[in-house]
Structure 1
Amino acid sequence: MNNRRNWLKQIGLATVGIGFSSFETFANPPFEDYILPNPDKSPIFLRSNENPYGPSPLARAAMTKSVNSSNRYGWDLSSELIALLAKKNNVADNNILLGAGSTEILDLVLQYTALEKGNFILAETTYNYWTFPSEKLGIKKITIPLTKEKKHDLTAMLAAIDSNTKMIYICNPNNPTGTICERENLVSFIKEATKKAIVFVDEAYIDFTKEQSLSNFVIENKNLIITKTFSKMYGLAGARIGYAIANSSTIEQLSILKSSPNLSLTNVSAAAAIASLSDEKFIQQVYEANAAVKKYTIDQLTQLNLNCIPSHSNFVYFSLDNYKKDFFKQLEDHNIMGTKIYEENGKWTRITIGTMKEMQQFIEAIK
């Protein structure tokens, strides 16, 4: 707490008579004011699952003020953030490793996996951009098809593990499908799979659910790694803040692969993350807004006879099989940035949930 108060003094947020809790009240305008203006000729970005409401007001203020400390290394800020993240996830400080977004953590775990040549297992389709260097690292990628409900086939993934398997990756909720593993099944899978390999669970979107994190299992399980990010719910994709939660011995092994562990974040990013963790009101408002706009979007897509997968995230996965127009041309003509076809069989695509106004424009564009 002393570190935090000292930091607040340095960046000008703690003044006589204004503590952090008072500043939180002062900095929370009506939720509608969080929405950043979108100039008429700017694209509507519905492609990368970003938070359309931007960072919280506390994070914005902290980032602005912390620029003045950018001449200093951020060891103290990183230590403060680690302590807060450990408390939030009910683990110890030595169970946390910071990264410049969860992408850096994903890259790091892939390198760690490649120390002993073998294979790793993941679903098809899932978030896989981080796997592209695997071939050059000398490890084989094995993909397991999703179930017909677009969920991870944990039974098939478990059966695919062999003596050369070093890691199994599970994105939960899954990107791009928005599906989630039933907790009891996932816990059972982890208990069995970690007897033979590392299980890496990506919880980038878990804040959009009421699901409990698996972070408490890392204390006793050396082969379980969890990754989380501030890019989605917290609206800090461009600030690049992510972290791993793992057994202390695993964190130690991962840290060896970094020249400066826990120094990937800038002072500006670390300050934003620290402030964001205090703005519970903003997070609840984002959660509620996403749920309401997502329901509207799914209802409208369903009325257009487009099959949607129930979503536990801030995006919707749906089929273009029944769509008669050129979907991506419609988006382009209306200056909307979408994604791609993820599965040719069924022409499955994904759309990010923006603000209500943005999604109304999206629906009008594709009608």
Structure 2
Amino acid sequence: MQPNRRQWLQQIGLGTLALGLSSLESFAAPANNEGKSRSLAPSDVIRLSSNENPYGPSPMARSAMIENMMKSNRYNWDITSELMKAIADKNNLPGENILVTAGSTEILNLLAVYYSMQKGNFVIADPSFTNWTNIAVQQGLTKIAVPLDENKRNDLDAMQSKITGETRFVYICNPNNPTATIVDATKLRDFIREAAKKTMVVVDEAYLEFTEEPSVCDMVKDIKNLIVIRTFSKIYGMAGARVGYAMAHPDTIDALLKLKVWPNGDISVMSRVGAMAALKDKDFFNDCNIKNNAARAYTVSQLQSKGLHCIPSYTNFIYFSLKEYEHDFFDVLKINKIQGTGIYEQEGKWTRITVGTMEEMQRFISVI
């Protein structure tokens, strides 16, 4: 397929489309346990709440952002296509399969608005990453929450059974947040092939780069009803820079572009050049994974030695049960200036903690 010129111009910010949405409030995510706004923590607070990378941005990304700071007085048309090409090359896809946004949550916002234009439902695991789902519900979609399996993984068979003619999309966070679990790659591909015959499948791979599991992004070339989401907020350590992207069929990309007044214009010059540099910094990427694996293994072993059951983690966070914990866990964290999360499942009192540096995790273990 030849690239659509109009689409390409839209992607690099030269095409401006207006959309008559009823209210821009649709894009404002309400506060909840997972998505509430948090001010930057004081320097003496250990932040183990948002699954951020404590080591980033990478040295190459920092240098690129500093060197290009003075270019912030100009619009970023000339480097927009460069970032898209870098992402496309990384994932072995044509540029027409890529949509770059200000963080992956913006893609989820766009999907919620787009697929709620027609009444119906969406299917999602419970618990999973849900801070964006209130937008879909507010726009009129019904949320179909499917319990995880006994191993705290997405129950693909159960989710498949919930798809009906009214289902607008099904969302799979893999690895899953907050449980840190991953589904079998072959089973996921089989699920996508079957589910995509009936509805749009959204696979959120925000944490996949903490694993050695293969992406399903190669499937977007042949399956129109598939969107794969990635972010620079996690392994690349650029959560505050706000860079994310979607990989999908060109027709799907084109449909989502129509929801944006200035496609790809919402990412700053510094964020763009930082993201491009981050993709090149292989040493930093590998070093982060090594450090994360070591700190995670230490923390899991220590939690288990205290009688706290942990779910095997494939990410930079750990899901564990406070059922046998004898103290007020969250009060202990507060007193010791450590930011945590909350209870995701009352039965078993399951909570999540981000994996920080080894020193931070040693401090965490020492106080609990």
TM-score with structure 1 length normalisation?
0.88
Distance in structure 1 (CA, Å) of the matches to 2:124 and 2:184:
17
Aligned with 1:133: secondary structure?
helix
Amino acid at match of 1:238: G
**Unaligned stretches of 5+ residues in structure 1:** 1-37
CA RMSD of aligned residues (A): 1.2
Q: Are the aligned partners of 2:181 and 2:311 in contact in 1 as well (CA < 8 Å)?
A: yes
Counterparts of 1:302-341 in structure 2, within 5 Å, are 302-341=304-343
Report the equivalent of 1:92: 94
1:216: which partner in 2?
A: 218
Distance 1:41 1:283, change over 3 A: closer
Q: Which whole-Å deviations, capped at 9, do the CAs of 1:186-222 have from their partners, x for residues lacking one?
A: 0111011000100000000000000111110000111
Mapped to 1, the partners of 2:225 and 2:114 lie a distance apart of 12
Name the % identity: 50
What residue is the counterpart of 1:301 in the other structure? Answer: 303
| Greater shift in the superposed pair: 39-48 or 284-293 | 39-48
Aligned amino acid, residue 341 of structure 1: I
Shift of 1:262: 1.7
2:15 aligned residue: none
Paired with 1:317 and 1:62, the residues of 2 have a C-alpha distance of 35
Where does 1:50-65 land on structure 2 (aligned, <5 Å)? Answer: 50-65=52-67
| SS of residue in 2 equivalent to 1:261 | coil
Aligned residues: 329
Q: Give the Cα–Cα distance (whole angstroms) in 2 for the partners of residues 40 and 146 of structure 1.
A: 36
Shift of 1:232: 0.2
* CA distance, structure 2, for counterparts of residue 101 and residue 266 of structure 1: 12
Does residue 125 (structure 1) correspond to residue 127 (structure 2)? The answer is: yes
Cα deviation 1:131-163 (Å, max 9, x = unaligned): 011222111111000011101111010000111
CA positional deviation for 1:113 = 1.0
Change (3 A) 1:265 1:39: closer
Quote the Cα distance in structure 2 between the aligned partners of 1:172 and 1:252: 25
Where has structure 1 moved over 6 Å in runs of 4 or more? Answer: none
Q: Match of 1:252?
A: 254
In structure 2, distance between residues paired with 1:136 and 1:177: 26
The equivalent residue for 2:75 is 73
Residues 241, 265 of structure 1: 8 Å contact kept:
yes
In the alignment, the residues of structure 2 paired with residue 196 and residue 39 of structure 1 have an alpha-carbon distance, to the nearest angstrom, of 45
Contact 1:122–1:143 at 8 Å: present in 2 too? yes
Determine the structure 2 residue equivalent to 1:272. 274
Shift of 1:91: 0.5
Q: Secondary structure at the match of 2:68?
A: helix
- In structure 1, the residue matched to 2:159 is 157
Distance 1:39 1:213, change over 3 A: closer
Match 1:361 to one of 354, 360, 363? 363
8 Å Cα contact 1:208-1:313 kept in structure 2:
yes
Q: Distance in 2 between matches of 1:281 and 1:165?
A: 43
Match for residue 285 of structure 2?
283
Looking at structure 2, the residues matched to 76 and 181 of structure 1 have their Cα atoms a distance apart, in angstroms, of 40
Query: Deviation at 1:63?
Result: 1.1
Contact 2:113 / 2:135 at 8 angstroms: preserved in 1? no
* Letter of the structure 2 residue corresponding to residue 48 of structure 1: S
Alignment-mate amino acid for residue 93 of structure 1: G
**Where do 5+ consecutive residues of structure 2 fail to align?**
1-39
| Alpha carbons 2:321, 2:349 under 8 Å: kept | yes
| Contact 2:55–2:288 (Cα < 8 Å) also in 1 | yes
Q: How does 1:168-179 map to 2 (within 5 A)?
A: 168-179=170-181
Residue 47 of structure 2 is aligned with which of 45, 69, 75? 45
Q: Which residue of 1 aligns with 2:8?
A: none
- Give the distance between the partners of 1:236 and 1:40, measured in 2 at CA: 19
Matches within 5 A, 1:168-207: 168-207=170-209
Contact 1:98 1:263 (8 Å CA) reproduced: no
Residues 91 and 241 of structure 1: is their aligned pair in 2 closer, same or farther, counting only changes over 3 Å? same
Q: Which residue is 2:21 aligned to? A: none
- Please say if residues 98 and 264 of structure 1, whose CA atoms lie closer than 8 Å, have aligned partners that are also in contact: no
**1:342 aligned to which of 341, 344, 355:** 344
Deviation at 1:301, TM superposition (A): 0.3
